[in-house]
Structure 1
Amino acid sequence: MNNNRAADKLNKVDKAAILLLALGESDAAQVLRHLGPKEVQRVGTAMAQMGNIQREQIETVMSEFVELVGHQTSLGIGSDSYIRKMLTQALGDEKAGGLIDRILLGGNTSGLDSLKWMEARAVADVIRYEHPQIQAIVIAYLDPDQASEILSYFDPKARLDIILRVSSLHTVQPAALKELNQILEKQFSGNSNTSRTALGGVKRAADIMNFLDSSLEGQLMEAIREVDTDLSGKIEDLMFVFGNLADVDDRGIQSLLREISSDVLVMALKGADDAIQEKFFKNMSKRAAELLRDDLESKGPVRVSDVEAAQKEILTVARRMADAGEISLGGKGGGEMI
């Protein structure tokens, strides 16, 4: 019984963090070497935030892991803050140092891929004085959440120019990618003379816009609308916003509820319409729904920015789960597994 209660308090990333902490530095490095930067960042963040780990939790995680590997050969660990800072906070300078070196030196990152390991501000500084088309290629190449954070470090005029170029970008010649890697003082890995690389497009622009803070998103969308009304409409059609959660199936909402805290949910629903609220209520137990209704009614006035931040947090979790194939997003930007 205690084991079950301990397990209920942990999400998948927490369990991965406990497993790696239990494995020890050398074995953990071997596991992390096979993950991408986003996955390492998420697990590192969870490790840094770990408080006192109960014996029951460790036993439960190990038991689940043994059962899991008996049926499959890979771990589906979810994907974000920053590897060096997070692992150092989790493990201390001395222990984290060797682990980080083994992860980074053992990886195969080069050229554009190396930017995925950098903080957004640092990437912005790297590309700030490059030609806008080069900036657009970099932004289109990186994951949307990192790309949106990088864009936030540019002024509105440059941000608009870059997102418009991303929208009109479709393929990039291998020679251009090779030249860009040389600019980044890295050799491009793989065969650079084989075929064009698909990159950018309106959907990519919409994905990046999804991760921008609401104020920046609104400003940028308005700027795009002034330049090209048709393009702004296409981007809006492809964006997934909080209201589109009404189109996610019940099983998806139930999975999402297991990954978000009640405090964040209350704040997000405080600014949501009745249809969205009911969508969540009907996918909870009767008791949980009653408690949520009480919390919503008793919560006083809240700032719009806090509501938007909570909704963004839930959307980030939803997109991560969709990327992992755990849920399917419907509505704008949905209709397919992504």
Structure 2
Amino acid sequence: MRPSDLTGPQKAAVIVLTLGEALAQPLLSQLYEDEVRELSLAITTLGRVPAETVEALCAEFAEAFGATGNLVGSFETAERLLALGLPKERVAQIMEEIRGPAGRTMWDKLGNVSEAVLANYLKNEYPQTVAVVLAKIRPDHAARVLSLLPEGFATEVIMRMLRMENVQKEALEGIERTLRQEFMNNLARSSRRDSHEMMAEIFNNLDRAAESRMMTALEERNVESAERIRALMFTFDDLQRLDGPGIQVLLRNAEKDKLALALKGAAEPLRELFFRNLSERAAKMLKDDIAALGAVRLRDVDDAQAGLVVLAKNLAASGEIDLSEGNEAMVA
């Protein structure tokens, strides 16, 4: 099997499998459902891939990644190119599909929007409009959105939902059009990721040796970009930003063996932060687990610490902990 025998999705599948689970997870979390489905299908059709093919694909990927020069791709660039040959409404529809949350229809997409974000938008709409929107999305999601609306306004929405009959097609299309133009496009623009943020997340998942090597190489090419990426990176040592309740949430969600391995290579102040937020008995057990590990490979410690950082980021994304600067650790 040669690289030329593989399709684009199959090549992507090889790269993802080469990364391993720890590095692939953050990457997969940035893909749309359709892309994950296509990638998963490609993985199932790969079969055995010879080592020389894997090496050739990695080299091909590295060459393509490093040969871009000053070429910059963006939503605006794609939008301008589409506008050269497509009607304005079709361009807007395509860009909305690219930018918006995953989902085939507008209502599918709304179902993947945070209830807090959706409620913040809907509270400024007419109760009848909100009633139609909540009637079209999943009941569990609608319930969470409804609970975040102002009480009096929420009651008005409930009354209209109770009296609601079949919504005319024209009215429904009007609501969809408004949501697409005023909400989804603004949401996509506000949530668009900076390329330096994306690279900082990738660097966060590299082992220390690779991170140091690549950062040094980047500094030789572009000092400003290297400094921006370094400032955006969230490292294991940055867990010291967490307050007491945040550390406790992290402790409850961490795998016991991975936590001990991660703390094995941690600086003493960070270790103590974790110990202080455990009961005396639990802290002693964790210390015993760390001591029982004996000598460990640096790579294993790096992997465990990277896993803890990914866990902290996921908990922050779900609003369970706060990773912002300036938090002071608290004793439980």
How does the TM-score come out when normalised to structure 1? 0.47
Which structure's residues are more often helix, by fraction? 2
How does the TM-score come out when normalised to structure 2? 0.48
Larger Rg: 2
